Amino acid sequence: MQTVRTTLVAAAAAVALVVSPLVASRENNGRLALTVSVDGAIGPATARYVKDALTKAGERHAEVVVLRMNTPGGLSTSMREIIADVLASRVPVVGYVAPSGAHAASAGTYILYATHIAAMAPGTNLGAATPVQIGGPLPGLPDATPDKGDKKEGADQQPKTKDAMAAKATNDAVALIRSLAEMRGRNADWAEKAVREAASLSANAALQANVIDLVAPDQAELLRQINGRTVEVAGGDTRRLATKDAVLEAIDPGWISRFLAVITNPNVALILLLVGVYGLIFEFTSPGTVAPGVVGTICLLLGLYALNLLPINYAGLALMVVGIVLLTIEVFNPTVVIGLGGIIAFVLGAIMLFDVEAPGYRVSWPVVGITAAMFVGLVLVVLRSLRRAGKGPVRVGAQAMRGLSAEVIDWSENEGHVFAQGERWQARGAETFKPGEVVEVANIIDLTLVVRRRPTLIRQGGTS
């Protein structure tokens, strides 16, 4: 009996040893913390990446999503998409500015205010959220303070209009960030200061000013500090976070987000447009080549799709189109002046194309210079080829046939057939010829050769 009891105890202990890790594993799997990393400028690709990550977090019933940010800002449209997704998320989102040395400037500050819990790593900063293009393109805006030195009605009407547009955009941005601050119980006055005065704060200063909720050196410490906090998610539900033993898992962007990140780079979009246009031009000038037309069509569609996602200046796009048209005309009708005008229009259009001041979304000067130099080189090569072809002998058409020798195959009265250039031709002439006689092509009319007797060669000192 004692032996049986001992055996049962040992079996129970063995079962416990096997079951305990499984239970612990199941608990850990239920406490999943997904990490989304936003590095660089915020654009359409970033918005798609965050949306997909939040959807995946909801499907996997994650405990929290850690939105790690290191960004100089970006496009206002993409920023608002991210904010809307964060506010609609049923999984708590923890905004975390990291690693040390990172910052959440401009659009990053708005997103940090929208998150359920805001945190920063030591040595980071946030702020400088003055809108450059929130609410729409505002190129070349002056200071929002009216100029008191000039009271003339005609002189200051345009600056006043621009000031009104700047004030409208600024007030809209202030309303947005204040509403986010009030929703999350954070410092709304400093948020307004960050927008109107481009104010910035370090991590410790932001914590003292109630701009963020905590400072954590790494994500493990972050999860430890937020453990037990209560947050309100979409739908009014209250969640008590249990993140102490949560398993951290990074979510990498999908292929669509990576693809968008490539083509929404303004420099890549510009190159795609140009490759597309010139591919179609080559296909039209040399029908049947196929490859330039296929590649050009694909690149042009990708470039236009990228432009649809990016804020563009249509005047700049029009100038680029004019420049390309003028360069094309220059190829077929060389005048130098048209080509020079096309190059100038193209360069100015490329500079003006993307109407945005957000970091990472401006066309770089080297790209503009390289593409302009390539077009100049292309035009020069084509012009040289045309000039060389104009000076050379004619190789095709009726003019190329005149003066060639032809051998008579058969002849009846004033018409027959001759052999010329390796082909059998129908021919006619004013004289009668014998088969095998060599004649000369005088003209070609409707695929019929007009032939004549070869002229007698006159040599110096005699005849032949």
What is the domain partition of the chain in residue ranges? 1-25, 31-254, 264-391, 398-463
Under 8 Å CB-to-CB from 232, ≥6 apart: which residues?
116, 238, 239
pLDDT the model gives residue 271: 82
| pLDDT for 459 beyond 60 | no
Q: Which of 87, 104, 92, 111 is nearest to 34 (CA)?
A: 92
- Cα radius of gyration (the chain): 38
Domain 31-254 falls in which CATH fold?
2-enoyl-CoA Hydratase; Chain A, domain 1 (3.90.226)
Neighbouring-strand partners of residue 357 = none
End-to-end CA distance of the chain: 141
Q: Is the distance from CB of 409 to CB of 419 less than 8 angstroms? A: yes
Q: How far apart are CA 373 and CA 209, in angstroms?
A: 53
Cα separation, 67 vs 50, in Å, equals: 8
Average pLDDT over the chain reads 78
Lowest mean pLDDT among 45-59, 82-96, 132-146, 217-231: 132-146
Cα separation, 372 vs 305, whole angstroms:
23
Q: Evaluate if pTM is beyond 0.85.
A: no
The residues that bridge with 240 in the sheet, in sequence order, are 230
Which residue in the block uniquely carries the two structure tokens 């609609």?
A: 88
| Residue range 397-431, pLDDT digits in tens | 566 677 788 888 988 888 899 988 788 888 988 88
Tokens read off for 14: 């063995």
State the Cα–Cα distance between residues 449 and 432, nearest whole angstrom. Answer: 15
Predicted local confidence at residue 358, as pLDDT: 55
The Cα–Cα gap between 251 and 242 comes to 20
Q: What is the pLDDT of residues 152-176, one digit of tens each?
A: 444 455 556 557 777 888 899 999 9
Crossing angle of helices 291-309 and 255-263, in 10° steps, is 90
Neighbours of 297 (CB within 10 A): 14
β-pair partners for 201: 126
| Predicted local distance difference test score (pLDDT) of residue 357 | 56
pLDDT at 136 over 60: no
Q: Does domain 398-463 have CATH number 2.40.50.140?
A: yes
Please report, rounded to a whole number, the percentage of residues in the chain having pLDDT higher than 70.
73
Rounded CA gap, 51 and 65, in Å?
12
